[in-house]
Structure 1
Amino acid sequence: MKNQIILILVPFLLLTGCNQGSSEATQQEELEANVMAIHDDAMARMGDIYKLRRSFRSLRDTLAARQTDSATLQALQQQIDELNQADEVMMVWMRNYTAPDSLQPEQAKVYLQQELQKIERVQTVMDSTIQAARKTYQQYEQQK
């Protein structure tokens, strides 16, 4: 009788264990997909940062040639610096990120949760910087 119970329980326990393992793997895959989706979106925003930075430099140079007041030129340079910082925040995250392939499932999950929070902060910094830069550019573009 004991042998029959053991024969019934062992496969059941193995199947239950396999389902939990695949669930952890699925969670890890979903977390990694979320991290990469935000990364990909942020990478697309890098083009916006590049274009805005180029526009600000051109505007700054045009206004400097017209001998615009130094406060305006400093404001434009500050916006360029903020765009550079937003760019650098993304570059730092990318340099520090490594795929969690060599980590145990639980460690990988923790790592990916941390990376998700980091890349969300990067995205917030980039979005707010881009939004502020566009607003500032519109104000100064009229002076051109």
Structure 2
Amino acid sequence: MKKLILLLALPFAIVAGCQSGPTEAEQKTELESHVIAVHDSAMANMGTIIKLRRNLQALSDSLTAQQTDSTTIKVLQQSVTGLKAADEGMMNWMRNYKAPDTLQHQQAMTYLQQELQKIEKIKVTMDSTIKAARVIYHQHEPKN
């Protein structure tokens, strides 16, 4: 009886031992999904960048017309430039990103790791630029 149980349990043990982790395709899909999730998170801030850029530029134009302190105008313009650069960083990444569908597994994983690092850096840049631009705008916004 014990031998019969052992013989019946052996195939199950072999099958269970062979399934040790995600397949290469699953690994690639998971990493690619993570890259796209970081991109999507950063993209959610594009409207904020556009709005802040517009507000800062309008404020700068208004202060220029009033011949206000040039230092303030310079700070506002630097913030606008930073927002434009953050926007352009995202646009460049999107233009250059290609799904690694035709690459071998290891090449695809290396490519996706590189793209993840790039998009994470872009997201950090966007977040910090937005934060700094908000501070600058609130420091100089017109008081009604």
Tell me which interval the TM-score lies in, with the shorter structure as reference length. 0.7 to 0.9
Larger fraction in helix: 1
Residues 40-59 of structure 1 mapped to structure 2, 5 A cutoff: 40-59=40-59
CA RMSD of aligned residues (A): 2.1
Q: Any idea what the Cα deviations from partners look like across 1:53-110, whole Å, max 9, x if unmatched?
A: 0000111111112211111111111111111111111111111110000111121111
Q: Any idea what the Cα deviations from partners look like across 1:10-30, whole Å, max 9, x if unmatched?
A: xx79x94xx579621111111
Residues 121-132 of structure 1 mapped to structure 2, 5 A cutoff: 121-132=121-132
Residues 24-103 of structure 1 mapped to structure 2, 5 A cutoff: 24-103=24-103
CA distance, structure 2, for counterparts of residue 107 and residue 140 of structure 1: 49
CA distance, structure 1, for counterparts of residue 132 and residue 27 of structure 2: 36
- Structure 1 residue matching 2:44: 3-state secondary structure: helix
> Which amino acid is the alignment partner of residue 55 of structure 1?
N
CA distance, structure 2, for counterparts of residue 25 and residue 136 of structure 1: 47
CA distance, structure 2, for counterparts of residue 136 and residue 142 of structure 1: 12
The gaps in structure 1 that reach 5 residues or longer are 1-11
The gaps in structure 2 that reach 5 residues or longer are 1-13
Q: Return structure 1 stretches of 4+ with deviation > 6 angstroms.
A: none
How far residue 46 of structure 1 moved from its aligned partner, in angstroms, is 1.0
- Structure 1 residue matching 2:94: 3-state secondary structure: helix
The TM-score with structure 1 as length reference comes to 0.82
Shift of the 99–48 alpha-carbon distance from structure 1 to 2, 3 Å rule, reads same
Number of residue equivalences: 130
The TM-score with structure 2 as length reference comes to 0.82
CA distance, structure 1, for counterparts of residue 72 and residue 131 of structure 2: 19
Identity across the alignment (%): 55
CA distance, structure 2, for counterparts of residue 98 and residue 109 of structure 1: 13
CA distance, structure 1, for counterparts of residue 77 and residue 106 of structure 2: 46
86-95 or 49-58: bigger deviation: 86-95
Shift of the 47–35 alpha-carbon distance from structure 1 to 2, 3 Å rule, reads same
Q: Any idea what the Cα deviations from partners look like across 1:103-136, whole Å, max 9, x if unmatched?
A: 1112111111111111000000100000000011
- Structure 2 residue matching 1:102: 3-state secondary structure: coil
Partner of 1:112: 112
